[in-house]
C-alpha cells in the first residue's frame, strides 16, 4: 500500500469535482445555445431588460448548477459496489 500525500484528495472527491465541472460546462454551453437560438424569446427578453448581468448570472448559474448536480449524482449512482 502506497503512503498517501498529506494534501491528496480522496478519489471520490476528485471524481465528483471532475464530473461537477464537466456538467457545469455542459450546462453553460446549453444556456449559451439557448440564447444564441433565442429559444422562447429568452435572448430578446434579456436584451430588452435593464439588468443584463443579473439575468446572465441567474441563467448561466442555474443551468451550471443543475447540470453539474445531475452529473455528480449520476457519477455517484454509477460507482461500482465493493
Tell me the pLDDT band of 1, cut-offs 50, 70 and 90.
low
Tell me the pLDDT band of 8, cut-offs 50, 70 and 90.
confident
Q: What is the pTM of this model?
A: 0.83
**Helix pair 52-77, 11-37: axis angle to 10 deg:** 140
Tell me the pLDDT band of 9, cut-offs 50, 70 and 90.
confident
Burial of 65-80, coded b for 16+ CB within 10 Å and e otherwise, reads eebbeebbeebeeeee
Mean pLDDT, rounded, for 52-81: 95
Q: Which of 73, 79, 72, 78 is nearest to 20 (CA)?
A: 72
Spatial separation of the C-alpha atoms in residues 47 and 80, rounded to whole Å: 47
To the nearest 10°, the Cα dihedral for 67, 68, 71, 76?
Answer: -140
Amino acid at each position: 500500500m502506497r503512503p498517501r500525500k498529506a494534501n491528496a484528495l480522496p478519489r471520490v472527491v476528485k471524481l465528483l469535482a471532475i464530473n461537477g465541472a464537466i456538467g457545469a460546462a455542459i450546462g453553460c454551453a446549453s444556456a449559451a445555445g439557448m440564447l444564441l437560438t433565442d429559444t422562447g424569446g429568452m435572448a430578446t427578453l434579456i436584451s430588452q431588460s435593464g439588468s443584463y448581468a443579473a439575468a446572465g448570472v441567474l441563467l448561466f448559474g442555474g443551468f451550471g448548477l443543475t447540470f453539474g448536480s445531475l452529473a455528480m449524482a449520476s457519477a455517484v449512482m454509477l460507482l461500482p459496489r465493493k
